[in-house]
């Protein structure tokens, strides 16, 4: 099985590239952001709680996102692509143990590298059409990037210590970045 963690700051292009990689390698695409937005759209109790946290650019509690992923770990096709998860070290540890229970593991973590100024301009631009309130307010965007640097980026060393961290230059055309990701995946030693 091929299990990919697609990683990077908000606005790095994870969602766009995850859709491409899921199709290319026949993987199930699991995005915790999409799953949470579905809860909000369905007006569930969880959705109401998540909405408030997400609108401030903070992280939803680990236990919630871990449970959301846990129930989706079935019918893997050729594997899974995790987009926006894990976002904290406890989430990364939980993913390892969940996959172990299924007799599999994370193959690699692909990190899309994009500078802060570019992220801010991409997110504000996306906010014009996405209808996502967390993409329109500059203070929320700033907070999301700070939360990424403080709580999420430390996961890099978690995967680096397992020899699974691959850095990908995330600036250029969508097609160019897709090619870099595809090449990196094709070169994973089996």
Considering beta carbons, is residue 131 or 189 the nearer one to ligand ADP?
A: 131
In the complex, the smallest distance separating the C-beta of residue 71 from ligand ADP, rounded to whole angstroms, is: 14
Do the beta carbons of residue 41 and residue 51 sit within 8 Å?
no
Q: Provide the minimum distance between the beta carbon of 144 and ligand ADP in the complex, in angstroms, as a whole number.
A: 5
Label the pairing between strands 165-169 and 4-7.
Answer: unpaired
Residue whose CB is less far from ligand ADP, 156 or 189: 156
Residue numbers of the site for ligand ADP (CB under 6 A)?
A: 10-11, 14, 32-33, 36, 53-54, 57-60, 65, 84-85, 87, 91, 134, 144
Spatial separation of the C-alpha atoms in residues 177 and 1, rounded to whole Å? 23
Angle at 172 between CA 106 and CA 167, to 5 degrees: 30
- Pick 8 or 79: Cβ nearer ligand ADP: 8
| Other Cβ atoms closer than 10 A to 186 | 9
Q: How far is the CB of 36 from ligand ADP (least distance, A)?
A: 5
d(CA 115, CA 96): 29
Residue nearest to ligand ADP (CB): 33
**Any idea what the Cα angle at residue 114 is, between residues 170 and 78, rounded to 5°?**
45
Smallest gap, in angstroms, from Cβ of residue 190 to ligand ADP?
A: 28
Tell me whether residue 79 or residue 84 sits nearer to ligand ADP (CB atom): 84
Whether residue 85 contacts residue 95, with contact meaning beta carbons closer than 8 Å, is answered with yes
CB of 52 to ligand ADP, least distance (A): 10
Give the residue with the Cβ less far from ligand ADP, 51 or 107.
51
């Amino acid at each position: 099985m091929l299990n990919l963690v697609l990683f990077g700051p908000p606005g790095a292009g994870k969602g766009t590239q995850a859709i491409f990689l899921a199709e290319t390698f026949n993987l199930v695409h699991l995005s915790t952001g999409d799953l949470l937005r579905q809860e909000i759209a369905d007006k569930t109790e969880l959705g109401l709680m998540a909405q408030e946290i997400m609108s401030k650019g903070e992280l939803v509690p680990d236990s919630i996102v871990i449970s959301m992923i846990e129930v989706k770990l079935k019918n893997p096709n050729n594997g899974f692509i995790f987009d926006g998860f894990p976002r904290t070290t406890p989430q990364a540890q939980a993913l390892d143990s969940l996959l172990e229970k299924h007799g599999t593991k994370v193959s690699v973590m692909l990190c899309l590298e994009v500078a802060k100024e570019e992220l801010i301009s991409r997110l504000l631009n996306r906010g014009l059409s996405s209808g996502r309130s967390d993409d329109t307010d500059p203070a929320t965007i700033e907070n999301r990037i700070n939360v990424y640097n403080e709580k999420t980026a430390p996961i890099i060393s978690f995967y680096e210590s397992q020899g699974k961290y691959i850095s990908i230059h995330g600036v250029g055309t969508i097609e160019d970045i897709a090619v870099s990701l595809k090449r990196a995946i094709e070169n994973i030693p089996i």
